[in-house]
Structure 1
């Protein structure tokens, strides 16, 4: 049985956002303008224009729908600390140069605003941390220093994790869950309908059902993208499933990435119309799961069951 079976809900939809790039810098603008031969990217050079900063827009959208999601923040290594191989790939180099620090005043304010409003803030483990517990601990501590309290879980950057070593690191660092088990190339219930407990204890794995980049481009083929989402919701309801989705915040700008904000809203609205539970993974754990040994999350309602 799935974790949702013993509840009043036929299925659950867990909402997540990986905060990879909250700023579209001049480096980004120039790189993508050349790579795509499109001058539209140069709008980011205008004073006060940052299409990747979408925290307020997402919060407003979700608040109107009465739901909350999880935002996973990235704490990447500096250029000097990155392997040389990272600096030979243009895409990786652009991302490395434009890294952010969660302790920067603007980011820290956004993190605290999310937290105060009931959104979940979690860890987006950086590219080379799958087997590096010390680095994961530093990144976790940095986020918690901004929040002023412990976090519950997160997801690895680019879904780069080692089974079961990364999960063991997460658990031993005091995290209650991970959402890295998924695909960057295809969507669907590729790992079944149930949550996982890899160590037969309170630590939980939420398989990732959908990363938005695996869909048809909703700016060009909105109905095809929506058909895929609706099909997943129908499958989730038919199988008492926990469906977890990832939409990157930068894609919510309708001029840069048309269709994604509209698609996300329709996904939530349809899930609610179907009677599904909608929220963040941490909130789901709080409401439905037994989490022995994890003080960050406590059961608020009658606990559900997980397929062991």
Structure 2
């Protein structure tokens, strides 16, 4: 395990210690390095300072931009830039840098504050300024997030991957590998279990609304019971052929048609029935993970949320490690408050930070990360696994996701491999039937076959991936030394 020696400018540390420490921990552990924190005037590998003259003995200097830290929630994304192998956001009033990396007197100076850029992306600083729909989902039409495909570029982890290359150019040893078995990246399949049992008088209407008049025969098949949504055996058979074990997120709160009509769209099934208890045993025996699909309003009621977790654990007989919010419905005004609730309930990981409408990574990272709780200025203990693609985005929401679906998905996998990240996808439980959902399962099968045959992805359940990342992270943090902000502020607030 190699240690990076790093110095943080005391002037920056005085005002933004927690934010800067958390960001450097994301970057350093993501690259696989423990650290030794020292003072700027001492010899070190990396210095983060607004004035390179304060770190005359640093091999790499990242020039800080204090004014950005002071007005971070007012900055707006204008476009994206790539210079010298480093990708980064460009804010309103800026132009893409012609040169980011400068070699000067045997050292490298990064003239872009990529540390701030990473913090700005990972904490969703602009989200409070963007419009949202009735479910709290971001509406990004006309923004650079869509126009420049910023979501698909995973800019935060791209910065980490670019910084990794700069460190290699300095001649430093590589960090601890991100993934096991010599794999370049990781991948996982998830299923939101929303409607496994059809309402036979209602679902035919939904089929016709989705397919138009050509869906009438399929609608009749649903009405007469010939076709259904209970597709678990088919998913298991397909995933066995693909060498994949997935996670199924089940809702523990039973909703109703009446609630649905009045704005609470929770699923209608009851996990306590013998049918579901038998299903859980089948899935567990197949090596699948079972996670919680938190109810639509769970984020607003901690007791209800905890009750749902207990109900699912009672029904399955296993501890629940992972979670995804139904409808991606986290607190639209304060997403981190919901993430803090996940921590309070003891989830190992969460997979709720995503865009309902758009392909790509909502917070710009295909690397897993421990979110920053801005209100308390600390790192949260529940790992965030960002979802890069949900099935409907390339079918019912094609207009918001331009491009050939096959090419879009393969590019997503290629980007993940390039950055050494995690590709987590979401395929709903009920879309397997090609008559009811033409092309949905086939598109997934073709795409996942591509991921598998690449041979450079470690494919496992999200819980296994989260466990690996958390253990690796803890090893690196525990091996780090120094008395600066990277150790004393963040670790003291969020020790695991």
- Pairing partner for 2:274 from 87, 105, 124: 105
Structure 2: gaps (5+ residues): 1-29, 33-176, 372-377, 476-489, 491-496
More strand by share: 2
Q: Does 1:246 align with 2:418?
A: no
* Helix, strand or coil at the partner of 1:99: coil
- Pairing partner for 1:261 from 438, 441, 453: 441
- Pairing partner for 1:43 from 221, 228, 244: 221
Task: Quote the residue 2:289 is aligned against.
Answer: 120
Task: Quote the residue 2:152 is aligned against.
Answer: none
Q: What is the alpha-carbon distance in structure 1 between the residues aligned to residue 223 and residue 394 of structure 2?
A: 29
Q: Does 1:149 align with 2:328?
A: no
* Higher mean C-alpha deviation, range 177-186 or range 190-199: 190-199
* Helix, strand or coil at the partner of 1:26: coil
Asked whether the equivalents of residues 218 and 224 of structure 1 are also in contact (C-alpha less than 8 Å), the reply is no
The structure that has the greater radius of gyration is 2
Q: For residues 247 and 78 of structure 1, do their structure 2 counterparts lie closer, same or farther at Cα, with a shift above 3 Å needed? A: closer
Q: Does 1:276 align with 2:427?
A: no
Q: What is the alpha-carbon distance in structure 2 between the residues aligned to residue 292 and residue 138 of structure 1?
A: 30
Q: Does 1:24 align with 2:202?
A: no
Task: Quote the residue 2:358 is aligned against.
Answer: 186
Task: Quote the residue 1:212 is aligned against.
Answer: 391
Give the number of the structure with larger relative contact order, counting CA–CA contacts within 8 Å between residues 6 or more apart: 1
Asked whether the equivalents of residues 254 and 270 of structure 2 are also in contact (C-alpha less than 8 Å), the reply is no
Task: Quote the residue 1:287 is aligned against.
Answer: 468
Shift of 1:173: 1.5
Q: For residues 216 and 280 of structure 1, do their structure 2 counterparts lie closer, same or farther at Cα, with a shift above 3 Å needed? A: same
Q: Does 1:63 align with 2:63?
A: no
Q: What is the alpha-carbon distance in structure 2 between the residues aligned to residue 291 and residue 27 of structure 1?
A: 51
Task: Quote the residue 2:91 is aligned against.
Answer: none
Q: For residues 127 and 290 of structure 1, do their structure 2 counterparts lie closer, same or farther at Cα, with a shift above 3 Å needed? A: same
Asked whether the equivalents of residues 18 and 248 of structure 1 are also in contact (C-alpha less than 8 Å), the reply is yes
- Pairing partner for 1:203 from 357, 360, 382: 382
Deviations 1:5-52 (A, max 9, x none): 3542111112110000001222333432564454221211224x3421
Asked whether the equivalents of residues 202 and 292 of structure 1 are also in contact (C-alpha less than 8 Å), the reply is no
Deviations 1:177-197 (A, max 9, x none): 100000111101332222121
* Higher mean C-alpha deviation, range 136-145 or range 20-29: 20-29
* Helix, strand or coil at the partner of 1:249: coil
Asked whether the equivalents of residues 210 and 246 of structure 1 are also in contact (C-alpha less than 8 Å), the reply is yes
Q: Does 1:136 align with 2:305?
A: yes
Structure-2-length-normalised TM-score: 0.53
Deviations 1:243-273 (A, max 9, x none): 2110001111111112122221222221122
Q: Does 1:231 align with 2:411?
A: yes
Q: For residues 177 and 2 of structure 1, do their structure 2 counterparts lie closer, same or farther at Cα, with a shift above 3 Å needed? A: farther
Q: What is the alpha-carbon distance in structure 1 between the residues aligned to residue 319 and residue 471 of structure 2?
A: 18
Structure 1: gaps (5+ residues): 294-298, 300-307
Q: For residues 65 and 2 of structure 1, do their structure 2 counterparts lie closer, same or farther at Cα, with a shift above 3 Å needed? A: farther
Asked whether the equivalents of residues 383 and 470 of structure 2 are also in contact (C-alpha less than 8 Å), the reply is no
Asked whether the equivalents of residues 204 and 223 of structure 2 are also in contact (C-alpha less than 8 Å), the reply is no
Q: For residues 237 and 88 of structure 1, do their structure 2 counterparts lie closer, same or farther at Cα, with a shift above 3 Å needed? A: same
Asked whether the equivalents of residues 2 and 194 of structure 1 are also in contact (C-alpha less than 8 Å), the reply is no
Paired residues for 1:150-165 under 5 Å: 150-162=319-331, 163-165=335-337
Structure-1-length-normalised TM-score: 0.82
Q: What is the alpha-carbon distance in structure 2 between the residues aligned to residue 154 and residue 118 of structure 1?
A: 18
Shift of 1:151: 0.7
Q: Over aligned residue pairs, what C-alpha RMSD do you find?
A: 2.9
Asked whether the equivalents of residues 181 and 207 of structure 1 are also in contact (C-alpha less than 8 Å), the reply is yes
Asked whether the equivalents of residues 177 and 203 of structure 1 are also in contact (C-alpha less than 8 Å), the reply is yes
* Helix, strand or coil at the partner of 1:17: strand
